[in-house]
């Protein structure tokens, strides 16, 4: 197996080094406002869910959804920019790098951005005085959010392989991400919803990501997590192979 994807990852990392400071403020403040606004505001009316305060309940879900958005954004808009208008891939393909290296590197980079967001939120949660990180298992959220990132980055890459223009991506955000954001048990427990909603929710990648982050943050380690993990890894692998295949068809001719 070629390690060329690490070279592509590194190209994106070098670019990131020039802008990470300016994006850090947003990475930290967005989740802070979200947590305080939703957690404390709604928390006034909703006292407790499953033994957790409301802000405790939503904060792990916010980690997972922020990872989803960051990885997706990177592998849709940013990858598309490098692929189409900037023709960065075209010049990389003049070297011994292969398209598989590029797709792999882009997905790993998207996942890295997802992990960066998750880590930033975790940092905010540690800093807030509301016992948002009661367990050391919470540290595992960082490597797990890389896997979650791989899943969403690969899925986004499949979509990007079909994209004719930027407009195309708004459908993905609206139709694929927003329902997941609402129905993955981030803001209210799915267990209380009608049967069919619970059923639909089981097929949402973000639902399994939220299960993982919430259990890890709260230190509720149980066997069912292996199933969630299998979903995440399975979807990531499947989407990666489809994306690599589709991209090859799109770019090499």
Partner 1 sequence: MAIIVSARNLAKRYGDLEVVRGLNFDVVGGECFGFLGPNGAGKTTTIRMIQCLSEPSGGLLEVFGMDVRKYPRKIKARIGVAPQDDLLDVDLKVRENLTIYARYFGIPDIEANRRADESLEFLQLKEKSGEKVDKLSGGMRRRLLIARAMINQPQLLIFDEPTTGLDPQARHLIWAKVRDFKERGVTIILTTHYMEEASQLCDRIAIMDRGVFIAEGRPADLVQEYVGQEVVEIRTNHIDTNAIVERLHGCDYITETYADTMYIFFREGCGVMPKLVEMGLSNYIHRLATLEDVFLKLTGRELKE
Q: How far is the CB of 23 from partner 1 (least distance, A)?
A: 14
Q: Bridge-partner residues for 53, per DSSP?
A: 48
Reading the block at residue 80, the tokens are 């598309």
* Cα–Cα nearest to 69, from 113, 16, 105: 113
Taken in order 235, 239, 240, 245, the sign of the CA dihedral is: positive
**Could you give the string, one character per residue 77-106, with x where binding to partner 1 holds by CB under 8 A and - elsewhere?**
-----x---xxx-xxxxxxxxx--------
Q: How far is the CB of 92 from partner 1 (least distance, A)?
A: 6
> Should residue 249 be labelled a site residue for partner 1 when binding is judged by CB under 8 A?
no
| Contact residue for partner 1 among 1, 14, 165, 226 (CB under 8 A) | 14
In the complex with partner 1, which residue's Cβ is closer, 238 or 251? 251
Neighbours of 19 (CB within 10 A): 9
Site for partner 1 (CB under 8 A): how many residues?
21
Choose one: 11-19, 134-142, 167-175, 181-189; the region binding partner 1 (CB under 8 A): 11-19
In the complex with partner 1, which residue's Cβ is closer, 17 or 165? 17
Q: How far is the CB of 75 from partner 1 (least distance, A)?
A: 16
Size of the chain, expressed as the number of residues it contains: 253
Taken in order 83, 85, 87, 88, the sign of the CA dihedral is: negative
In the complex with partner 1, which residue's Cβ is closer, 51 or 96? 96
Q: How far is the CB of 74 from partner 1 (least distance, A)?
A: 13
**Could you give the string, one character per residue 39-78, with x where binding to partner 1 holds by CB under 8 A and - elsewhere?**
----------------------------------------
In the complex with partner 1, which residue's Cβ is closer, 1 or 175? 1
In the complex with partner 1, which residue's Cβ is closer, 48 or 90? 90
Residues that bind partner 1 (CB under 8 A): 4, 7, 10-11, 14-15, 82, 86-88, 90-98, 252-253
């Amino acid at each position: 197996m070629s390690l060329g994807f690490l070279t592509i990852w590194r190209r994106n990392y070098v670019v990131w080094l020039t802008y990470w400071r300016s994006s850090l403020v947003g990475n930290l403040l967005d989740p802070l406002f979200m947590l305080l606004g939703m957690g404390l505001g709604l928390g006034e009316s909703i006292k407790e869910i499953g033994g957790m305060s409301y802000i405790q309940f939503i904060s792990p879900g916010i980690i997972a959804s922020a990872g989803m958005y960051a990885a997706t954004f990177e592998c849709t808009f940013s990858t598309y920019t490098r692929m189409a208008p900037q023709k960065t891939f075209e010049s990389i393909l003049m070297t011994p790098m292969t398209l598989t290296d590029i797709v792999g590197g882009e997905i790993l980079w998207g996942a890295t951005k997802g992990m960066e967001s998750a880590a930033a939120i975790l940092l905010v949660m540690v800093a807030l005085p509301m016992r948002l990180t009661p367990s050391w298992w919470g540290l595992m959220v960082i490597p797990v959010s890389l896997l979650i990132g791989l899943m969403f980055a690969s899925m986004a890459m499949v979509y990007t392989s079909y994209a004719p223009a930027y407009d195309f991506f708004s459908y993905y955000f609206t139709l694929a991400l927003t329902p997941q954001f609402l129905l993955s048990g981030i803001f209210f427990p799915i267990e209380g919803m009608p049967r069919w909603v619970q059923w639909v929710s089981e097929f949402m990648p973000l639902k399994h990501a939220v299960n993982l982050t919430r259990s890890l943050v709260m230190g509720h380690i149980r066997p069912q997590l292996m199933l969630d993990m299998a979903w995440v890894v399975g979807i990531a692998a499947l989407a990666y192979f489809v994306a690599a295949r589709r991209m090859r068809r799109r770019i090499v001719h």
